[in-house]
Amino acid sequence: MATGWAKDGAVQEQIDSTVQDAVERARHQLAHDGKSLTHCEKCGKKTPPRRREVIPGVRRYVTSQAERDKQDNGTLYNRRGSKDSQLR
């Protein structure tokens, strides 16, 4: 039974969507095929050989990866529509 303006099953749809987004983020963060790139896929700088050794499948230079990590931290969703959840 839906409440307010939500249709039946809306809560489950929100849960499923949140889980799907988390799975996609996790898959995107996995190393692609274990082969490290010699140059950053974003900025083109040469990736240090030691970084390629230590992190198999590395694809970004240190600063490019740090920028991406900062952006990825803020991608959690609050899909609840109640005013109470938005105040927290």
pLDDT in tens, 11-52: 888 888 888 888 887 777 665 667 889 999 999 999 999 999
Q: Would you place residue 8 in the very low, low, confident or very high pLDDT band (cuts 50, 70, 90)? A: confident
Domain assignment present for residue 83? The answer is no
- pLDDT attached to residue 55: 84
Domain assignment present for residue 17? The answer is no
Q: Which residues contact 85 (CB under 8 A, 6 or more apart)?
A: 78
Mean pLDDT of the chain: 77
Q: pLDDT over 90 for what percent of the chain?
A: 19
| Separation CA 56–CA 40 (nearest Å) | 14
Q: What is the tally of structural domains in the chain?
A: 1
Q: Would you place residue 69 in the very low, low, confident or very high pLDDT band (cuts 50, 70, 90)? A: confident
| Separation CA 70–CA 85 (nearest Å) | 24
Among candidate residues 49, 50, 53, 51, the one with its CA nearest the CA of residue 65: 51
Separation in Å, CA 74 to CA 23, 41, 58, 68, 71? 16, 22, 22, 11, 6
Domain assignment present for residue 66? The answer is yes
- pLDDT attached to residue 33: 66
pTM over 0.75: no
Domain assignment present for residue 43? The answer is yes
DSSP bridge partners of 39: 46
